[in-house]
Amino acid sequence: LKLTMGAIRPVKLEGLDIYPATVEGLQETFGSPNFILAKARWMSDDEASNCVLCQNKFNQLRRKHHCRMCGRILCSKCCKEKMPLPQLRCEEPERVCEICRPAAECVTKSRSTILSFKFEAVKGIVSMCKEEKGLCKLVELGGVQMLISMSKEPDAALRAMIAEGLHILSTHQPLHQMLAVVGVIKALCWMISACDIVTEEKAVIDSLSALTIFCKLNEFKMKALQDGALDAVLKLFQAQTTPAISLVAVSTLSLLMENPNTHTKIMDNPGNILRNMLLLCGSEDEQMQEISLKTLSHLSMGTDWHRHKIVQEDFTAGQMMLKVMRSKPKNDQILCNVTCLVANLSTSSED
């Protein structure tokens, strides 16, 4: 997968062709809060005879004004607000049209050292994520880059909103390429590791759920591994997580383990991930049982040593596979998964 924006190509959002914002230099903005957006093309005066927003015709009284953000020409009524635009290297107030103002204002506020301004910025962008026109404008004007660049913010409440916004954006398939290039996977992995599992459960689940979306897609699985997805998920297995987090974490791990190159890292993990995985097979939640057994089935397709270690850990954990088979689960897929697991283990020359 060649993860590069290249020439700016439109993405189809809500039936419209949207040109995503790009930044000068490297496109990734994770850990780079002071990114500079590439400037939009400046319309020439002879290209516009009417205001693009109110459609009123320009004349000697209704003068033409350029919006610094989008470069289009509007009347003074539709392009009256002025604000600093540090994202364009404009520290002095510049004219911004009413179409661009909400998103541009949020990106500008995100640069502030005042926490309340940062809250307003993130709250505004996340709110825009939830509605059609707002989503399109934030993609065009740097809202995506802003959220990803702020993912290292230490405030828990702010981090929760950022995680929610990135989760919403990740549900839009046309944005996946852009999100991956800008650094969303690194941002999600960082937040999963940085959040307190007890007090920030929603932020962890939002981040994990978004990460799972990328781990499901073949074109992004290797990118997810390179950007730290496996380490982030494994850390959750070394902590006392809630049932909701555990379920999403196991689902994500199962997807990552479809790649055989991940197996050794799990087997050698000092936190005894294998033991924890076997114990989850005894969960009262049948969905958890199903996914845990599926994950172990992936592991059992590795080397004889991997299979031998699973058998050893299962015995130490209390013969969880045998308990599952005797439990008569209502979910037939559980029996299918445990049967597949046992069949794979039976091929080991060491047991």
- Amino acid (one-letter) located at 182: V
What tens-digit pLDDT sequence spans the chain (351 residues)? 333 344 457 898 878 899 999 999 999 999 998 999 999 888 898 888 999 999 999 988 888 999 999 999 999 999 999 999 999 999 999 999 999 999 999 999 999 999 999 999 999 999 999 998 899 999 999 999 999 999 999 999 999 999 999 999 999 999 999 999 999 999 999 999 999 888 999 999 999 999 999 999 988 988 998 999 988 988 887 666 788 888 888 899 899 888 888 888 778 777 678 888 888 888 888 999 999 999 999 989 988 988 999 999 999 889 999 999 998 889 999 999 999 999 999 987 776
DSSP string, 196-239: -TTT-HHHHHHHHHHHHHHHHSHHHHHHHHHTTHHHHHHHHHTS
> Residue 49's closest CA among 75, 76, 68, 71?
75
CATH topology of 34-101 equal to that of 257-351? no
What Cα–Cα distance (Å) separates residue 38 from each residue in 46, 65, 71, 93, 137?
24, 20, 12, 18, 15
Query: Can you give the pLDDT at residue 2?
Result: 34
pLDDT of residue 265: 79
Check: CB of residue 266 under 8 Å from CB of residue 299.
yes
CATH 3.30.40.10 assigned to domain 34-101? The reply is yes
So what's the pLDDT on residue 259? 84
User: How is the chain split into domains, by residue range?
Assistant: 34-101, 257-351
**257-351 architecture in CATH?**
Alpha Horseshoe (1.25)
pTM for the full predicted model: 0.87
